[in-house]
Amino acid sequence: MIVPTKSWQADTVAHHYDELDLFYRELWGEHLHHGLWHAGAETVTEATLRLLNVVAAHARLRPGQTVYDAGSGYGATARWLATHHSANVTALTLSPVQYRYAQTVPALPSAPKPRYLLEDWLSNTLPDRSADVVVAIESTEHMVDLAGCFAQIRRVLRPGGRFVVCAWLACEAPKAWEVRLLLEPICREGRLAGLGSLSEYQAGLQGAGLVVEGSDDVSRQVRRTWDLVLYRLIAKLATDRRYRRYLLDARQRERLFVWSTLRLALAYRTGSLRYGILSGYREA
C-alpha cells in the first residue's frame, strides 16, 4: 500500500472537493470518474457511460433494487442508476458542496429519486443487511480505513447482495522512483489515504468476508481520461484568468492538485498507476 507522507482525516478530503468544486466540474464533469475506451473513437460521454454500464452489469442490477453509492460525488451515478435501472439509490458524500449540488439536480419523473446523505461511509447510519448492491466508484482511495470500508460494505449488504468497487491502484511492485515521483505525490496532492494494488484489494475484500468473483485491470482502457483532463487544464490556463489566479494564490490549500493531473497522465503511461474493477457478493 502506497501512503502519503502526511495523513489526514475525512474533513480534509471534504475540503479538497469543496475548494476544487468548479474546476472538477469544468475539467472532469459531474460524473467525476474515469471513462472506459474500447475502440478509442468514443466521445468522453460515451466512455463515461460505458464504465457505468460495466458497473451495472457486474452488479446484475434489477429494477427496484436498493443500491448504496459509497462516495457519490455530485450524484450523477446515482441518478443514472435510478433512470436507467429503476434502482432505489442512496448516495453518500463527504462534501457539503457536492451534497448541495446533487440536491439541485431534478430526477426524471419516471425514475425513482435518489436519496442524498452528507455522511462518511466509514461511519454511515445505514441499517444492517439493507442493500441489494453497493457501488464505490473511485472513492475507496480516500478512505483512511480501507478494511473498515470493506467491513461496512459487508455489513449493509443482504446475504447474496453484490458489490462493485472501481479503484485507482498502484502497480504490484512499484520501483522507488515511481513511489517518490508519481504515486506518493498523487496520494498527497489528491488527498488519497493510499493506493493499494489489485492483489491488496482482493485480499482486503476477502478478509472482510466478501466473495470476490471478478478483478479486472482496465488501466489501458481508462488512461485516456487524464490525457483529456490535462489538455483541458492547459487550455483553461491559457484562456481563463480564474485558473491562473487560483494557481498563483498561496492561500488555496488544494492548488497543488493541478500538478497531479500531469503526474496522473504520466503514471498511467508508465504503468505505475493502475485501475481496477472488483466485484462479488456477500455469501452469508
- 263 pLDDT exceeds 90? yes
pLDDT score recorded for residue 224: 94
Q: Is there a contact between 178 and 272 (Cβ–Cβ < 8 Å)?
A: yes
- 40 pLDDT exceeds 80? no
Please check whether residue 150 lies inside any domain of the structure. yes
pTM: 0.94
Selected residue with higher pLDDT from 8 and 90: 90
Question: What value does the mean pLDDT of the chain take?
Answer: 95
Residue 108: pLDDT band by 50, 70, 90 thresholds? confident
121-172 pLDDT, tens digit each: 999 999 999 999 999 999 999 999 999 999 999 999 999 999 999 999 999 9
Please check whether residue 235 lies inside any domain of the structure. yes
pLDDT score recorded for residue 196: 97
CA angle 83, 89, 93 (to 5 degrees): 115
Residue 109: pLDDT band by 50, 70, 90 thresholds? confident
115 is written with which cell numbers?
Answer: 436519496
pLDDT score recorded for residue 42: 87
Q: Show contacts of 101-110: CB within 8 Å, 24+ apart.
A: 101/21, 101/30, 101/74, 101/75, 102/72, 102/74, 102/75, 102/78, 105/74, 105/75, 105/79, 107/79, 107/82, 107/83, 108/82, 108/83, 110/83
| Domain enclosing residue 129, as ranges | 10-282
CATH of the domain at 30: 3.40.50.150
Please check whether residue 206 lies inside any domain of the structure. yes
Could you tell me where the DSSP H helices lie in the chain?
A: 10-19, 21-27, 44-59, 76-85, 96-104, 146-156, 176-178, 184-189, 198-207, 219-222, 224-239, 241-248, 257-270
- Quote the percentage of the chain above a pLDDT of 90: 86
CA angle 187, 193, 198 (to 5 degrees): 85
Q: How many domains is the chain built from?
A: 1
**Strand-by-strand arrangement of the 210-217 sheet:** 115-118, 88-93, 66-70, 131-137, 157-170, 273-282, 210-217
Q: Is there a contact between 239 and 17 (Cβ–Cβ < 8 Å)?
A: no
Please check whether residue 2 lies inside any domain of the structure. no
Q: Is 278 helix (H, G, I), strand (E, B) or coil?
A: strand
Q: What value does the mean pLDDT take over residues 87-93?
A: 98
102 is written with which cell numbers?
Answer: 446533487
Q: What value does the mean pLDDT take over residues 45-56?
A: 96
The one-letter amino acid code at 36 reads L
Please check whether residue 218 lies inside any domain of the structure. yes
- Residue 44, exposed/middle/buried by CB under 10 A (0-12, 13-18, 19+)? middle
d(CA 137, CA 202): 16
Q: Is 195 helix (H, G, I), strand (E, B) or coil?
A: strand
Residue 29: pLDDT band by 50, 70, 90 thresholds? confident
Flag the least confident range among 17-31, 46-60, 111-125, 264-278.
17-31
Please check whether residue 39 lies inside any domain of the structure. yes
Strand 273-282 to strand 131-137: parallel, antiparallel, or no bridges (unpaired)? unpaired
Please check whether residue 5 lies inside any domain of the structure. no
pLDDT score recorded for residue 22: 86
Please check whether residue 1 lies inside any domain of the structure. no
Residue 207: pLDDT band by 50, 70, 90 thresholds? very high
pLDDT score recorded for residue 39: 81
Q: What are phi and psi of 152, to 5 degrees?
A: -65, -35
Q: What value does the mean pLDDT take over residues 251-268?
A: 91
Give the CA count within 13 Å in the CB-facing half-sphere of 219.
19
pLDDT score recorded for residue 211: 98
